Amino acid sequence: MTASTDPATKEPFERVVQAHGDVVWKVCRGLLPQHDAEDAWSETFLAAMRAWDRFDGDRVRGWLVTIAHRKALDVLRAGARVETREDGPPDRAVEPPGRDLDLWAALARLPAAQRAAVVHHHLAGLPHADVAALTGSTPAAVRKAASDGVRRLRALMTEEPR
Amino acid sequence: MTESTPTEAAMPTVPATPPQRLEALHRRLEAAATGDDAPDVHYRHLDSAVGGLLVAATEQGVVRVAFAREGEDAVLQALADRVGPRVLRTPGRLDAAAAWLEAYLAGRRQPFPLALDTRLARGFRLSVLDRLREVPYGERVTYAQLAASADAPRAVRAVGTACATNPLPIVIPCHRVTRSDGSTGAYLGGAEVKVRLLELERTGRLPD
């Protein structure tokens, strides 16, 4: 590969936003309450745009999800939020009731490791090994956390009042 | 992606993100992308009286006006390659350029001074564009006259190329350059758009 500073091979950043805005939103929203997720989303793309001329990998989605994961951690630390206390009034005011709210609300009730595994593996589509690298875990542990998380999610969602 | 990685329990359906949600998020990004975090290139679309336009600017000024027929992907990639890859759609930052184009196409001769960034033209092509900016509203010059005014009377073809690659059509009036035989000649936005712009400047009204 040639020098990473060569801008001639880079696609316009707007194309990155168009291609990956949705998956980054699902990651942010899967890890954070509505309003914090909005902040994390824009901070993710702002940070990515800042580094875009230096990024020389070919796995843009994984790179963005990594940034989003860190931004989500920053937000959680800054707010010192208790994860099970999310999805308060702002969510219900903005999003219509139904399956949409149910998934995010149910995700918020998972233990942190299961939540991260489900979000990064099932919502972002990362392989277990990549999720493990991201969360400082092992592929086997991520596989189990994702599997347990999905089972728990389904139980939570069927118990959820409609 | 869920289907390809089966687990004991199937992942619940992930709701589709409404387009309005992504648009609102994009506006947050646009609002935050200022100062040190400003993109290399801002751009927006404009539905104008001469068809769809793409207008792009740097922090210095308007750097590109492109007709829809030039192809958005090609135009944006060229901007990424030649100006910088941080290209972001920021409609709010291009209000002045949009207002200028709309006023001009509505018949205003000199809407207001518009900051330009001519970095996409270099050398001889840039000097041709500089001469072009001196051609008054409503007047026409031939490629040969423009070559002479750029101190290169034999460079008529090169002048034609400079006009054909004008990064700022309409704003830098390459439509005022016509052929020596009196025909209007080719134009980036299509020959019919050139005819309409010349009519606009002659009559004050853009014909349909």
ipTM score for this prediction: 0.90
Neighbours of B55 (CB within 10 A): 25
B123: buried, middle or exposed (CB in 10 Å: 19+, 13-18, 0-12)? exposed
* Token couple for A20: 């990956």
pLDDT at B97 over 50: yes
Look at A99 and B26 and tell me if their CB atoms are within 8 Å.
no
DSSP H or E stretch at residue B78: helix B72-82
Q: Give the residue on A whose Cα is nearest the Cα of B85.
A: A12
Local confidence band at A85 (pLDDT 50, 70, 90 cut-offs): very low
Q: Cα separation of A56 and B68, whole Å?
A: 31
Look at A25 and B25 and tell me if their CB atoms are within 8 Å.
yes
pLDDT at A159 over 70: no
Dihedral-angle region of residue B87 (phi above 0 means left; psi in -120 to 50 means alpha; beta otherwise):
beta
Look at B80 and A151 and tell me if their CB atoms are within 8 Å.
no
Q: Give the residue on B whose Cα is nearest the Cα of A145.
A: B7
CA B17 to chain A, closest CA, distance in angstroms equals: 7
pLDDT at B13 over 70: yes
Is B163 catalytic? The answer is no
Output Rg (C-alpha) for chain A, integer angstroms. Answer: 17
Q: Give the residue on A whose Cα is nearest the Cα of B86.
A: A13
CB pairs < 8 Å spanning A and B: 107
Nearest to residue B175, comparing CAs of B162, B157, B161, B163? B163
Do A83 and A75 contact (CB within 8 A), yes or no? Answer: no
Question: Over the stretch A123-152, which tens digit does the pLDDT of each residue have?
Answer: 999 999 999 999 999 999 999 999 999 999
* Token couple for B21: 């949600």
Do B62 and B76 contact (CB within 8 A), yes or no? Answer: no
Q: Cα separation of A20 and A84, whole Å?
A: 28
What average pLDDT does the segment B49-57 reach? 97
Please provide the CATH number assigned to the domain covering B123-203. 1.10.10.10
User: What's the confidence (pLDDT) of residue A134?
Assistant: 94
Q: Give the residue on B whose Cα is nearest the Cα of A8.
A: B81
What average pLDDT does the segment B59-87 reach? 97
Question: Over the stretch B105-148, which tens digit does the pLDDT of each residue have?
Answer: 999 998 899 999 999 999 999 999 999 999 999 999 999 999 99
What average pLDDT does the segment A16-42 reach? 96
Catalytic hit among B174, B177, B188, B206: B174
Local confidence band at A80 (pLDDT 50, 70, 90 cut-offs): low
Look at B86 and A49 and tell me if their CB atoms are within 8 Å.
yes
CA distances from A93 to A40, A79, A80 (A): 20, 21, 23
What average pLDDT does the segment A74-94 reach? 57
Q: Cα separation of A40 and A34, whole Å?
A: 10
- Which of A17, A39, A41, A49 to mutate against chain B (most B CBs within 10 Å)? A49
Local confidence band at A102 (pLDDT 50, 70, 90 cut-offs): confident
Dihedral-angle region of residue A121 (phi above 0 means left; psi in -120 to 50 means alpha; beta otherwise):
alpha
CA B58 to chain A, closest CA, distance in angstroms equals: 14
Nearest-by-Cβ selection for A103 from B14, B41, B89? B14
Nearest to residue A124, comparing CAs of B3, B21, B2? B2
Give the residue extent of every domain in chain B. 21-105, 123-203
Topology of the domain covering B21-105:
Double Stranded RNA Binding Domain (3.30.160)
DSSP calls for B140-193: -EEHHHHHHHTT-TT-HHHHHHHHHT-SSTTTS-GGGEE-TTS-----TT-HHH
Look at B26 and A17 and tell me if their CB atoms are within 8 Å.
yes
Give the residue extent of every domain in chain A. 12-159
Do A138 and A152 contact (CB within 8 A), yes or no? Answer: no
User: What's the confidence (pLDDT) of residue A9?
Assistant: 74
Q: Which residues pair with A73 in a beta bridge?
A: none
Look at B81 and A122 and tell me if their CB atoms are within 8 Å.
no
